[in-house]
Structure 1
Amino acid sequence: MTTNGDERWNRGTEAMDAVYGEGFSATYYPQPREMPYHRETVEHLFGDIWSRPGLSVRDRRLLVIGVTAALGRGDLIRIQALGALRNGELSPEELREGALQLAFYTGWGNATSVDRGIEDAIADHEKERARPL
């Protein structure tokens, strides 16, 4: 028998894996319930927010990329861009065009970090695709 917490956790990990790729949740949140931050990330952010029907995952990702770009966090852009590539939501060309668009709204310095995160994600994705099955 599962508890409400189990159901929320499962819904959250399913959403997280749908956003970032299969197995992501198990890699980054292996012992969730003992750590409040991990539990809230999985159960609330992904189980409740990313799972809502009002926007697609792609739409939500574009919003997150914009906000993350404003913060100048290329490391977090890399995670979002890789998820978008894995899911076929955005192409390398679209991500690169997005970096240029964001440069004029977030500042050139932040966009430099965004561009680096995007290029790193594209390289990561190409390596994943080149691995033999």
Structure 2
Amino acid sequence: MLMAVASQQRPDLFAAVICWAGTYDMIHFLEKVYCYEESRVEYGDITDKEQFEHILRYSPLHNIPETLVKNPSMLILSGLMDPTVDPRHYSARFLASMHMKMQHMKADSLPLILGRFFEKDAHKLLFNTKSRLIFSFLHAILKFEIYDAE
């Protein structure tokens, strides 16, 4: 979630962003029964009007800009079996919402917004799988050179 918020508030600072198993709809997350008191202390309490308004100001799903032209490219990773961050309510919804905003924009001016959903919990992926995917995405966006270590 942190990278999604940072890239929305200051898109000029990033060329590419990796979002991994994030809670992009903070209202939905904080109203769930399994949301513990610690989460409300950390993120805010939606039953308090002032805190609710603050949460809306940083919740990534609720702050997708009307035009994504200046936004960085984004790779959203999530696991289909994630017990804490249900991809249907968070990653998939966030990804779909961004793609909906991009429908009527010129393709040559849009950032690359990709999602990858793994069969298992994304928190427990093998390091090599994550690394290959992340470095491939970053290489495609940032165009950096890859040197053989040998």
**Structure 1 length normalisation: TM-score?**
0.32
Relative to its length, the structure with more helix (as a share) is 1
The structure number with the bigger radius of gyration is: 2
**Structure 2 length normalisation: TM-score?**
0.30
